[in-house]
Structure 1
Amino acid sequence: MKNESSRAFGLGLFLAPFIAFILIISLSPGNPSDNEVDKYIKASSEIIIPISKTINLKSTDWTGRFVNGDETSFTNSVRYYLNFRKNRYKEYEVFYSSSFKKYFVIESYNKSMSNLIDQDRKEAQAMVNEQELKNPKYGTLQNPIPILWLTEYEKLSDPINYQKYRYNVVEYLRFYKDRKNYNEGACAVCPY
């Protein structure tokens, strides 16, 4: 009896990492299809958004709270995916536009967009999804309209910039659209 229970314990100890790995892989969000990405990009257009007020937020990521305490800042960063090889980070900035009467969030995944705006900027020239712009579910401080590319300096006619924009769209659709809030990071004990 004692020998059987020690074998079962040893087998459980051996199989536990494999089972955990399979669960993490099966529960992690899958990549959106090329069709979904193309559909999102085709529904997006370049618009100029007047900036009425920039929003300073407290960091919601535990590392940001550890480093900055209760300080607020305009540019924030969260770890949105925990990986065995390399974590992924997202930088974001939130502002309000009184012309649109909506909040917007600029999102850059893994530093794919180097031109986040300054706090004293008066307008943003950006790619915005028209469906999200018209949807009343978007535009609040809790659920701002995502901006996944700023076009003023980095035009999408350049293939490298287009690939970076497409990367932002893929990451947004995979990890955030209808999944979690724009300012939430990855959970260390969650599947993704």
Structure 2
Amino acid sequence: MRNIFKHIPMVTLGQILGTVVGFPLLIFLINIFYYSNKYNDDAEQYCDNYIKKSYDIEVMMPEEKSKYYLENQDENIKTSETFRTRMDNNFFANPQGQYYPFYSVEYKKYFSIMCFLYPTEMHWPCDMKVILTVNRDDMNNPAYGTKENPVPVLKDIGVDESIRDNDQDYDKAYMDSFYRENVIRYLKYKMPKSEFKRRFKNK
């Protein structure tokens, strides 16, 4: 073994060791010390608190080409997001969120319908009556409802027709499960850590 290293230049040996040992170790340390603390991993403990303060409102969604949809006004509006949970090459395995931000004439607030699971089973509503489930604290907070920080909507149901395939809007067990899981992922990945701590842990 010594004879092998004897014929390898020190620079090359350093590169080999860096690739074989250093880089994997760096990734391991980043995953442990950065990604393990990046999100609100105990969100499930507090999802019921968030849900208990929620209620339904009914709105008429704007037409498809309406200026009230933020993505029609500003191409920089974020309508999707991927949350990195670890440093690896499988980027598509990470959780994702899809957003549908719009302005409500009835409530004079900006809302964003957010989906962190099963987005392919939904048809984003346009020009139809919908029931939106919102959180009371979000609605009463003047920091929410702006263009920059719309009120999050984590459950929406069509009034006259289902937004989801197979009339799943009207399957209560399915929608209760969908809402709970969507809330957990919103609290875990999307809500800033400082706000999560203030609203749920400092009480």
TM above 0.5: yes
Please state how far the C-alpha of 1:41 moved relative to its aligned partner: 1.2
Match of 2:24 in 1: 17
- Is the partner of 2:172 in helix, strand or coil? coil
Task: Find the aligned partners of 1:46 and 1:9 in 2 and give their Cα distance.
Answer: 60
**Of 114, 118, 125, which residue of structure 1 is paired with 2:121?**
114
Aligned-partner residue type, residue 22 of structure 2 = L
In proportion to residue count, which structure has more helix?
Answer: 2
Structure 2 CA distance for partners of 1:143 and 1:167, relative to 1, 3 Å: same
CA pair 89-33 structure 1, distance change in 2 beyond 3 A: closer
Is 1:136 aligned with 2:142?
A: yes
- Which deviations, in whole Å up to 9, do the C-alpha atoms of 1:27-82 show, x marking residues without a partner? 22242343211111111112213446333242567xxxxxxxxxxxxxx4333446
Choose 4-13 or 52-61, whichever is displaced more.
4-13
Q: 1:156 to 1:129 in 2, by over 3 A?
A: farther
Q: CA contact under 8 A between 1:107 and 1:147: conserved in structure 2?
A: yes
Residue 64 of structure 1: aligned partner: none
Q: 1:12: Cα distance to partner?
A: 3.6
Residue 4 (structure 2) aligns with: none
Are the structure 2 counterparts of residues 156 and 134 from structure 1 closer, same or farther at C-alpha, using a change threshold of 3 Å?
A: farther
| Paired position in structure 1 for 2:132 | 126
TM-score, normalising length from structure 1? 0.68
Matched, 1:89 2:96: yes
Larger radius of gyration between Structure 1 and Structure 2: 2
More strand by share: 1
CA distance in 1, matches of 2:120, 2:182: 8
1:166 maps to which of 161, 177, 180: 180
Contact 2:113 2:155 in 1 (8 A): yes
1:175 deviates by 1.6
Tell whether the 8 Å contact from 2:59 to 2:131 is kept in structure 1 after alignment.
Answer: yes
| Aligned pairs (5 A) from 1:44-63 | 44-51=54-61, 53-55=68-70, 56=72, 57-58=74-75
Q: Is the 8 A contact 2:43 2:187 kept in 1?
A: no
Give the equivalent residue in structure 2 for 1:183.
none
The total of aligned residue pairs comes to 163
User: Once the 2 structures are TM-superposed, how far is the Cα of residue 111 of structure 1 from its aligned partner?
Assistant: 2.4
Task: Give the letter for the 1:103 counterpart.
Answer: Y
Q: Do the aligned residues in 2 keep the contact of 1:32 with 1:173 (CA within 8 Å)?
A: no
Shift of 1:143: 0.4
* Aligned mates of 2:188, 2:116 — CA distance in 1: 12
1:79 paired residue among 56, 79, 82: 82
The unaligned stretches of length 5 or more in structure 1 are: 62-75, 180-192
* 1:149 and 2:155 correspond: yes
